[in-house]
Amino acid sequence: MLKVHHLNNSRSQRILWLLEEMGTPYEIVHYTRMSPVPLAPPELKAVHPLGKSPVITDGNKTIAESGAIVEYLIDTYGNGRFKPKQGSGDYWQYIEWMHCAEGSAMLPLLLALYTGMLGDAAAALKPRVDSEIANNLSYMENALGSRPFFVGNDLTGADVMLLFPLEAAGARLDPYPNLVKYRKRMQDRPAYQRGIEKGGPYALMSR
């Protein structure tokens, strides 16, 4: 059976959400972050050399990186759903948003997290990090507008990818009303809620 190696408060929550949207049977292997530094436990290195989550195993395949996992699941179990048809007008927009989530949107948010641990030592970097976060959120706010999804008229893998940085943004999202409504709309989806119930406590959800 398809297995999701799931780490609490991590990108693997988006994989559970997608699988619940698909109705694809799967098994969860739970892992818990260490304390006091919330790193992934060493047991994950036995699944994949990077020791990170999400990772899925499906038969003889082991796949890491949430974007790659989303693509694999959609192509393997999506039955033509969750992505525009190749060659359609929305296809390359979909590809752009798929990569934007981790390639652009998450980087300054991670820098804010890490530099925040340094306190005054990171003061020189803070304005630049903050401006990059605002740049990304403004871009997403204007691109989304009042539409229900980032691409087309139905949920796609791009939405599954993009919600995580919007959750990680926390209160930084408040000045962007389209994104605030979008985040709540995605979190209110029954499949998202089922993923939370199965995945366990998810601190990013309530930020």
pTM, full prediction? 0.94
pLDDT in tens, 94-138: 999 999 999 999 999 988 888 887 787 778 888 899 999 999 999
- CA–CA separation, 205 vs 207, rounded Å? 6
Q: Please determine, for residue 206, whether its predicted confidence score (pLDDT) is greater than 70.
A: no
The tokens of 100 are what?
């934007």
| pLDDT of 205 | 61
Phi first, then psi: give them for residue 30, nearest 5 degrees.
-90, 140
> 3-81+192-206 maps to which CATH number?
3.40.30.10
* pLDDT mean across residues, the chain: 94
Cis peptide before 177 (omega within 30 of 0): no
- CA–CA separation, 13 vs 9, rounded Å? 7
| pLDDT of 22 | 98
CB proximity list for 38: less than 8 A, separation 6 or greater: 9
Per-residue pLDDT band for 157 (boundaries 50, 70, 90) equals: very high
Query: In terms of CATH architecture, what is 91-189?
Result: Up-down Bundle (1.20)
Boundaries of every domain in the chain: 3-81+192-206, 91-189
| pLDDT of 207 | 41
* Mean pLDDT on 2-22: 97
- Please state, for a pLDDT cut of 70, what percent of the chain lies above it: 99
